[in-house]
Structure 1
Amino acid sequence: MNALLSGALVLSWSSGFIGAKLGAESAPAVTLLMWRFLPLTAVLALVVALRARDAWRGLSAGVLGRQAAIGLLSQSAYLFTVYYAIQLGVSSGTTALIDGIQPLVAGALAGPLLRQYVSRRQWIGLWLGVGGAAVVATADASSAAGAAWWAYLVPFLGMLALVAATFLEERSRTRVAPTVSMTVHCATSTVLFTALAVGTGTATPPADPSFWFAVGWLALVATFVAYGLYWLVLERSGVTKVNTLMFLMAPVTAVWGALAFDEPFGPRTVVGLGLGLAAAVIVHRGGTRSARIRTRRARPVRTGEPAEDGDRLPGRCGTGRA
């Protein structure tokens, strides 16, 4: 059962990149994101009104403002760069791999910013992960359908936004319930993308049925199913297992994109993905120092939840997922 749940988590999480690819073919990124977050925010607001009012008690304007800032970085900025990069022609697999090195980069910065240090073996993993992303990006760019060179910097900017959000969350003294963080993040994204879509005259959705299929896919599968499975696998298998599964997203997305959209998947892509997987293994087995490193990859923290131990890199915060 655990294997089935883990496989479903990998597939549902990877589906976000595939849904972004589907939507990018029928509408601008801000249009797709606006209509993705509008129904999500409405559903979450209803849940809050009916079942989660207590979770908001005692939260100050400063705490909610910090959550809004985290949402802007980990969700709005991150997702826009993912969707825009795919719209520019960057393959979904390459985008997923660049996104996947975020916890590695966060780990490299954990020492100077949080005094949480990375072991020598983990540094090797960090460089392998970056190297794997570079190999896949160059293979993608050299293909016939490759995007302009600067387009590959767009998902890197989103990855850096996730890093910034991670440290903003790590330095927060108040932990909020998942319902609160999800609602604030989605509401913030809804306001931002609605304003951008209206301001650029792209708020009206296209009549193409594939657009609404992509919206439904992203809202239901890439958000609710993936998020629910994340918590279920987390409860049954632990944080380390979940974070290891996250590094499988890039190869699964690359294969999926090659089959569905004929995206490039040659020998260099295989080598780059292999380097990324090797980096994940080395990083997760390489923590030997007493200063252990925490992670919150796509995992909002419950109010009053104790800190966790383990040789893990700081990971993705909030609900930012493709």
Structure 2
Amino acid sequence: MKPLDRAWAAAFVVLWSSGFIGAELATRHAPALTVLNWRFLLLAPPALVWLLVRRRRWRARDIGAHVVIGLLAQAGYLYGVVAASGLGVDPGTTALIAALQPVVTAAAAFALLGEPVRAKRIGGMTIGFGGVALVVSADFSGGEAPLWAYALPLGAMLSLVAATVFERRTGPTSLGPIDALAVQFLTTAVVFASVSAPLGAFAPPASLGFWSAVAGVTVLAGIGGYGSYWAVVRRNGATTAATLLYLTPGTTMLWAWAMFGTAVPLLAWLGLAVTLAGVALSVRGGTTDRARSDPELARSAHGRGDQLRP
């Protein structure tokens, strides 16, 4: 990876992981659905203003594509994870199910996008999954959720995989990265407002702690996390972006250690080290293949610049 690619990757891992910490803080004051509703209602006005100010002639097909991506990557993924937690699915189990995403994404990208997968990348993903399993097992507490509730994190994982592959396949490039996020935010705001209102979860609590947590998760995870995710997808491919998600459980663990003083067992540190090794191997193993399968990236590698595709 080039230096700018590494910077995007690091930003993605840190900012995406911040969403779990923000959710922990916000759900101390309100139900998860209320948190998600107001996270996107805060994003909707600036997103709408941005699109009105831009007033570009975007292709209707591309706008529709990003509506679908918003439904899958934001509404579908976040609701699946949060609803599973509300039903008692252990966070460790959710993390393990989510950790299947790189393998599923790699298979889907190979079958549908023609992104090659080398043995080195497969080995790296396998090692990375083992590291995630160590991190999660160090703090696994079981759960009392009904059996069907485990379909929710599985559905969330598949929803993000589908969004990632769909974005790469359709290539809705008439919208820039910020334009695309704005469409996705507006779409998701409508979805969560429509769901939370009839369920009595629309009204927010009059709590400074709630609003500060929601504001933090909105900026860091909502804008930063998803923005950097799609930047990595566009620059380095769907499989690389998915593989980096292996680092989020360990990074979230470090966030919790720094902010809440949560103890980090030795096994978790070992798991984090194993995960780092697996991700490094997988990303390195996929760089050459990605350049071969993406002529634009190959040109960039020969000095044509580091800009995101418009």
Pick from 49, 53, 56: which aligns with 2:55?
53
Aligned to 1:70: 69
Q: How far apart are residue 104 of structure 1 and its match?
A: 4.3
Q: Deviations over 1:261-290 (max 9, x none)?
A: 465632332333233212211111223875
Change (3 A) 1:261 1:19: same
The letter of the residue matching 1:192 is V
Identity %: 35
Aligned to 1:308: 297
Q: Deviations over 1:152-174 (max 9, x none)?
A: 76444322211111111121043
Pick from 144, 164, 167: which aligns with 2:165?
167
TM, length-normalised to structure 2: 0.75
Aligned to 1:147: 143
Aligned to 2:20: 17
Counterpart CA distance in 1 for 2:182 and 2:282 is 32
Secondary structure in structure 1 of the residue aligned to 2:109: helix
Equivalent residue runs for 1:107-126 within 5 Å: 107-126=106-125
Counterpart CA distance in 2 for 1:158 and 1:101 is 11
* Structure (1/2) with the larger helix percentage: 2
Counterpart CA distance in 1 for 2:222 and 2:286 is 31
Aligned to 1:281: 280
* Alignment RMSD: 3.7
- The 8 Å contact of residues 41 and 189 in structure 2, kept in 1 or not, is answered as yes
Equivalent residue runs for 1:120-139 within 5 Å: 120-139=119-138
Equivalent residue runs for 1:91-106 within 5 Å: 91=91, 99=98, 102-106=101-105
Counterpart CA distance in 2 for 1:279 and 1:148 is 32
Aligned to 2:30: 27
Counterpart CA distance in 1 for 2:24 and 2:186 is 24
Aligned to 1:313: none
Counterpart CA distance in 2 for 1:147 and 1:292 is 43
Change (3 A) 1:117 1:67: same
Structure 1's unaligned 5+ residue stretches are 296-305, 311-322
Counterpart CA distance in 2 for 1:268 and 1:134 is 10
Counterpart CA distance in 1 for 2:177 and 2:288 is 31
Q: Deviations over 1:33-79 (max 9, x none)?
A: 110111211011112222x111xx1412x432221111111111112
Secondary structure in structure 1 of the residue aligned to 2:197: helix
Q: Deviations over 1:140-159 (max 9, x none)?
A: 33x4xx53476776444322
Secondary structure in structure 2 of the residue aligned to 1:140: coil
Structure 2's unaligned 5+ residue stretches are 300-310
Aligned to 2:44: 41
